[in-house]
Amino acid sequence: MDVRDVHHSYRRHAVLRGVDLRLRPGTLAGIVGENGAGKSTLLKILSGELAPDRGSVRHYGRFGYCPQSVVLDDSFTVRQHVDFFRTAFGLADLRRAREVMEVLAFTEYLDMRVGLLSGGSRQKLNLTLALMHDPDVLLLDEPYQGFDWETYLRFWELATELRDTGRSVLVVSHLAYDLDRLDQLWRLEGGRLHRQERRTGAAA
Amino acid sequence: MRRHWSLFTTASRYALVGHTRNRFAMLLVVVYIPLWIALACMTIPGGPAPFRLRATGEILSPPGNHLTQITGALNAVTLIAGFMMFVATFTGGAFDRRLTMAGYPRYHLVLAKLSALTLVCAAVAVYATAAVGLAWPTRQPLVLTAALFFAAMTYGALGVVLGSVLRREVEGMFAILMISILDSALQNPLSSSGSDSALVCFLPTYGAVQASMSAAFSGASAAQGLAIQSLWLVGTASAGFLVFRRRTRNALPPQRTPPVPAPSGPGTAGGAHGTAPPVGYGPSAESVQRR
């Protein structure tokens, strides 16, 4: 991921004032920021939902995005979701999707309608859809929201494994725990990213 | 070609699954249409209700209850199709966007949605024609089915537009209802003398009303009415496609330019763990905007 001099304003209100970010392969990084710091705008720009007023965003390789609010269709089952996205990604098989689902321990819900799943299970599927095509660059927006402690730990194992296999992973959160798991941490403040020292605990 | 077919059939299958799981709409189709037609037959007087059909200039004088059944059937199929497509578009907007961001081609998704809408509208139109046919024999049942079909398709496409541009579900419901009330009430010879006004020619189901009246009560050709309704359908479907395209646009157009590895320096996260894969082997995406 290569983000250069990204600016964005809503009318006269400047939200992003020159964001620079370069994520090399094999990096697990995080961005934290308070409410209203511009995280949502930055995420929209990084994911391609919004074009920046100025600057550029590049993702080299396959790109995966896990949105904060689960984006699923309640009328489909888990299996139907995975099948639909297999076609979208043009995948020959569901090997990677099955692996992710096994790590997140929710393979038993395959034939259940998504509308009947708990919040945590919906988030697991949300994450699976972002990972099933084995992306090189991964953008995760509050990815562990609704997870129980065990799943939370599994998520970090998964993120670490992705980093170790050369993927670029960027976790965006208003509150990031376990910062020692990250290789790099930035705080979004005043419309710019500021490097943070990593320390064990939480940052707001 | 095989990939295109697979994309189209998969999206069509799931579009249909989505519609069939809209239980309330299914209930409306099964119960509301025959109930409305039966109630109109029983409660509206059967005395002659003369009116001039604008399309042919013919003076028709059908029984009032039969006339109400036809306008009611049109009203029912349009509301149901509009409601179904509005709900599907409104609730599925973010999901469609996610699919297109994942690489699902928008043309295949739109074609699939159109195919599903066509199947649903055809089934509803046949069902409504059969329900009317049980009460009394219409003069041209196939043409009546076609008129109901085109009207339903038009409102279905209108539902897509409203589902894309409105922010709240209740706004869409009211918008469809209000448009339908204006559309049907202004054209109904029983409830408004305005049906003789030139203004009615511009209403969304004008063509379908003209064609269905010809089909139900006269042997005259309904081609002009169907043609006008087809124009409305093309217009609303095009508007639906444009708003869908705008809503699912991606500011990261796919590029295949080989990337240059980013140099280390301020703001650069170096890969401290694992082995870096060769970059630039897959599709990359870029979003650039300059003032």
Residue A119, classed as helix, strand or coil, is helix
Handedness of CA B157, B159, B164, B165 (dihedral sign): positive
Interface contact flag, B279 A25, Cβ < 8 Å: yes
Cα A83 to the center of its chain, rounded Å: 21
Pick from B225, B76, B231, B79: nearest CA to B155? B79
Residue A87: list chain B partners with CB under 8 A. 6-7, 10-11, 104
Residue A63: list chain B partners with CB under 8 A. 252, 285
Residue B251: list chain A partners with CB under 8 A. 45, 48-52, 57
Q: What are phi and psi of B37, to 5 degrees?
A: -65, -40
Mean pLDDT of A89-100: 92
Handedness of CA B129, B133, B136, B141 (dihedral sign): positive
Tell whether A51 lies on the interface with B, counting CB pairs under 8 A: yes
Q: Are strands B254-255 and B268-269 parallel, antiparallel or unpaired?
A: unpaired
- What number of CA atoms fall less than 13 Å from residue B87's CA on the CB side? 17
B5 CA: distance to closest CA in chain A (Å): 11
CA distance B128 to B40: 14
A58 CA: distance to closest CA in chain B (Å): 4
Angstrom distances, CA of residue B265 to CA of A164, A186, B154: 22, 15, 58
Cβ–Cβ under 8 Å, residues A139 and A65: yes
In this complex, the residue of B22, B252, B276 whose CB is nearest that of residue A25 is B276
Q: Residues 19 to 38 of A: which have CB under 8 A from any B CB?
A: 20-29
Tens of pLDDT along chain B (291 residues)? 788 999 999 999 999 998 888 888 888 889 999 998 899 888 888 888 888 888 778 888 899 899 999 999 999 999 999 999 999 899 888 999 999 989 899 999 999 999 999 999 999 999 999 999 998 999 999 999 999 999 999 999 999 999 989 989 899 999 999 999 999 888 876 665 445 677 888 999 999 999 999 999 988 888 999 999 999 999 999 999 999 888 888 777 565 544 444 433 334 443 333 333 333 323 344 554 443
B53 burial via Cβ count (<10 Å: 0-12, 13-18, 19+)? buried
B218 CA: distance to closest CA in chain A (Å): 44
Q: Give me the percent of chain A exceeding a pLDDT of 90.
A: 54
Per residue in B45-96, pLDDT (tens digit) is: 888 888 888 877 888 889 989 999 999 999 999 999 999 999 989 988 899 9
In this complex, the residue of B92, B252, B267 whose CB is nearest that of residue A20 is B267
Q: Helix B33-43 vs helix B64-101: angle between axes, to the nearest 10 degrees?
A: 160
Interface contact flag, B285 A58, Cβ < 8 Å: yes
Residue A124, classed as helix, strand or coil, is helix
Tokens of residue A130, six digits: 């972002």
Q: Residues 116 to 155 of B: which have CB under 8 A from any A CB?
A: none
Element (H, E) at A131: helix A119-131
Tokens 């896990």 sit at which residue?
A: A66
**Sequence-distant contacts of B61-67: CB under 8 A, at least 24 apart:** B62/B216, B62/B217, B64/B190, B65/B40, B65/B41, B66/B41, B66/B135, B66/B136, B66/B216, B66/B217, B67/B189, B67/B190, B67/B217
- What number of CA atoms fall less than 13 Å from residue B286's CA on the CB side? 13
Residue A94: list chain B partners with CB under 8 A. none
CA distance B212 to B72: 11
**Please, what is the average pLDDT of chain B?**
83
In this complex, the residue of A20, A22, A166 whose CB is nearest that of residue B277 is A166
Tell whether A94 lies on the interface with B, counting CB pairs under 8 A: no
Res B195: pLDDT: 56
Pick from B12, B215, B217, B32: nearest CA to B131? B32
Tokens of residue B232, six digits: 């409305």
Handedness of CA B258, B264, B265, B267 (dihedral sign): positive
Structural domain boundaries of chain B?
Answer: 2-247
Per residue in A12-37, pLDDT (tens digit) is: 898 999 999 999 999 999 998 888 88
